Amino acid sequence: MAVQRTFSIIKPDATNRNLTGAINAKFEAAGLRIVAQKRIHLTKAQAGEFYAVHKERPFYDELCEFMSSAPIVAQVLEGEDAIAKNREVMGATNPAEAADGTIRKEFALSIGENSVHGSDAAETAAVEIAYFFSGLELVG
Ligand code: CMP
C-alpha cells in the first residue's frame, strides 16, 4: 500500500478532558505521522458545512452544536494505508461496539461524543484536508 494522508479531528469531548496528547500517542504508536495540526473553535455554521453530507440525518443539529461547543484539534495524518489504519485505531463509531485498545473504546462517551473523526475514503480525505489546511501547512 502507498503512503496516504487522511484527515482527523480530535473532538470537543476529548479536548475538554485534556486528551489531545493521549490520542496523538495512539496515532503515533500505530505509525501515523501528524504532518499538520491546529486547535480551533468552529462556529456552528462551519461545523454544519463540514458535516453537510449528514444534513438530512436526525442527529445533524445535535452534531453541529456539539462540534462547535468547544475547541477541536484538526489534523492531517500520514502513513502507509493511513485512511484504513486511522479507522482501525479510532474503532467503531459507537464506542459500545469499538474493539479493545481503540481510541473510541478507551475515551469516547457516546456515539455522538465519540472523541475523534477520521476520513472514510481518499476522496473525502482530500476534501476534508482542503477545508481546514492550505498546502503550505502540510509538513511531511
Ligand atoms: P464522525 O466520524 O465524526 O461522522 C459523523 C458523526 O455523526 C459521527 O462521527 C458521530 O459522532 C455522529 N453520529 C453518528 N450517528 C449518530 C447518532 N445516532 N447520534 C448522534 N450522533 C451521531
Q: For the chain, what are the domain ranges?
A: 3-42+73-137
Could you tell me which of 52, 73, 48 has the C-alpha nearest to residue 133? 73
Yes or no: say if 72 and 12 are a contact pair by the CB < 8 Å rule. Answer: yes
Query: Is residue 41 annotated as part of the catalytic site, yes or no?
Result: no
Provide mean pLDDT across the span 67-91: 98
Provide mean pLDDT across the span 22-44: 98
The pLDDT of residue 1 is: 75
Per annotation, catalytic residue among 5, 26, 85, 117 = 117
Does 6 show up as a binding residue in the annotation? no
93 lines ligand 1 (CB under 6 A): yes
- The answer, as to whether pTM is greater than 0.85, is yes
CATH architecture of structural domain 3-42+73-137:
2-Layer Sandwich (3.30)
114 lines ligand 1 (CB under 6 A): yes
Checking if the pLDDT of 15 tops 80, the result is yes
Q: How far apart (Å, rounded) are the C-alpha atoms in residues 71 and 123?
A: 26
β-bridge pairing 72-80 and 116-118: unpaired
Round the average pLDDT of the chain to a whole number and report it.
98
